[in-house]
């Protein structure tokens, strides 16, 4: 199902999510600061989570042909 570059991108996204949502980097956001009236820590969590989901959607929606080579984007 997933081979080649798609599988590598999915593994890279998993590792990026694991690192970004793990303790040492997560502690950077744990301050008593408000951003637009929202606490920084939950805001950072949801922004990182949203960016990971958007990157996952981008990887999954990019098409590959049968040989696993990226197809160029169709021109309208």
Q: What's the pLDDT tens digit per position in 32-74?
A: 888 888 898 989 899 999 999 999 999 888 865 545 556 666 6
Domain for residue 53, yes or no?
Answer: yes
Domain for residue 41, yes or no?
Answer: yes
pTM exceeding 0.95: no
Q: How confident is the model at residue 76 (pLDDT cuts 50, 70, 90)?
A: low
Distances (CA, A) of 6 to 3, 25, 47, 49: 6, 26, 24, 20
**Rounded distance, CA 12 to CA 7, Å?**
9
pLDDT of residue 52: 94
Domain for residue 75, yes or no?
Answer: no
Domain for residue 32, yes or no?
Answer: yes
Q: What are the tokens at 19?
A: 């690192």
The H-assigned helical ranges of the chain are 5-20, 23-26, 40-61
Domain tally for the chain? 1
User: Which among 44, 13, 48 has a CA at the least distance from the CA of 31?
Assistant: 44
Domain for residue 69, yes or no?
Answer: no
Across 13-17, 19-23, 40-44, 65-69, least confident range: 65-69
């Amino acid at each position: 199902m997933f081979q080649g570059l798609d599988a590598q991108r999915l593994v890279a996204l998993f590792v990026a999510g694991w690192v970004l949502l793990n303790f040492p980097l997560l502690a950077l956001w744990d301050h008593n600061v408000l951003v637009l009236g929202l606490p920084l820590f939950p805001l950072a969590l949801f922004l990182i989570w949203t960016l990971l989901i958007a990157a996952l959607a981008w990887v999954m929606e990019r098409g590959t042909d049968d040989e696993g080579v990226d197809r160029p984007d169709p021109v309208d």
